[in-house]
Amino acid sequence: MDTGGGGGGGVDGGLASDERPGGTRLDFASNGQPAGGAEGTVASEKHRAPDGRLVEIRNVWADNLETEMVIIRELVEDYPYVAMDTEFPGVVARPVGDFNQPDFQYQTLRCNVDMLKMIQLGLSFANEKGELPEDGCCTWQFNFAFNLSEDMYAHDSIQLLKNSGIDFQGHERRGIDLQDFGELLMTSGLVLLPNVTWLSFHSGYDFGYLIKLLTCSNLPTQESDFFDLLQLYFPKIYDIKYLVSSQDGFHGGLNKLADDLKVERIGPMHQAGSDSLLTEQVFLKVADVYFNGVANLDQGKSRGKFAGQLYGYGGNQTGIYSGGGGGGGGGGKQRRHRDRCRRRRKHRHCCRDGHNNRRCDRSNRGQCNRHCRCLRFVGGGGGFDGGGDRGAGERRQLLRGGFGYGQPDDLG
């Protein structure tokens, strides 16, 4: 199914519809063409939710960007819980050198975000009660300009996105200019305001791309400066993976967590709109299961402990590299655990996903095997393992800059 979009695409205005197998319905105008159908593409998709509702995921391209941003600007006042997901072209480089430096994770993020471009952004809206907008759309999928002949990417990641239905020809012809979107985002009422709550899952890269877009510059060299910008533009965020790993040591991906919580996906996987909607529904379920509702999570000690944290970043947050301060705690035990693993020959470094719970204190080697996540580094000396699509000149430049290729990460 073509998941591209045209302008408009609302649910009113004389639209007929065609319901497809699997509960997906496409909007069409009265002339039989897709609604808002510039170049014959689909403006929006309606999916049948488990409770029988039709849930709309609206595609946004350059030709309907301003119209949809006006709608979002009004909507966020009543539905200030904004779930976010991005699709980006993989991970093409990793820092080489001292692998034990505390900010390895952030430097990997920084060099990739600086070099690559975001492909899609999904935003889904709800209120504190978990209610979706009653009229119209609850999820927007922004499709950005991306050219496979000119822009950098990891081949495996692009192939995955193609298999998921992303129309790269549409992105090349009608994709949104990132600078135009950044300007509209600044005045959208979504950023810089503490009354808007951003929801995400393992979202270091997601927020990295948004900060790059909002600042029109590369990410800061220091991780602490990155968190300063994060706090400025997104005063209140919840990273679901940080929430659940802090409570019961969960280290899986979003789909696994959704399955555990009996939350059904709406729309196609590996597209930002559907992923953001699933993120929103999983957050609401996590808030109910672990915190007795969003209101309890969003006040008092819980908010102070969990808001503003990103899973896997900020040394005091997940205890990956050091302890002390914040929600990580147990720094001495975590460092001893890390050093113990490092002495074992098959471990070059310990705890990729980080230990944020009592597992860090376990000395049994069998348990250590189960609970460690070991970093798989690119071959020594800045070598390449073919993860990116580049010319020889770019590879030489990358080597001079001190980075090597890596396969795309599974970020959960």
What CATH number should be reported for the domain holding residue 162?
3.30.420.10
- Answer whether residue 3 shows pLDDT above 70: no
The verdict on residue 380 lying in a domain is: no
d(CA 31, CA 45): 18
Look at residue 337 in the predicted model and tell me its pLDDT. 42
Q: Give the Cα separation of 348 and 344 in Å (integer).
A: 8
Beta-carbon contacts of 252 under 8 Å, excluding residues fewer than 6 positions away, are 412
Higher pLDDT, 151 or 383: 151
The mean pLDDT of 175-204, rounded to a whole number, is 97
Instruction: Identify whether 306 is part of a domain.
Output: yes
On the question of pLDDT at 355 being above 70, the answer is no
Output the pLDDT for position 230. Answer: 97
Identify whether 396 is part of a domain: no
Flag whether 282 is in a domain: yes
266 within some domain: yes
Residue 239 maps to a domain:
yes
56-60, 339-343, 371-375, 397-401: which is most confident: 56-60
In a domain, 170, yes or no: yes
**What is the total count of domains within the chain?**
1
pLDDT at 377 over 50: no
Average pLDDT over the chain, rounded to an integer: 73
Say which residue, 59 or 357, is predicted with more confidence.
Answer: 59
Judge contact between 288 and 297, C-beta under 8 A: no
Helices and strands of the chain, counted as H and E runs:
16, 11
Q: Is residue 123 part of a domain?
A: yes
Domain span including residue 204: 16-313
Q: pTM for the full model?
A: 0.70
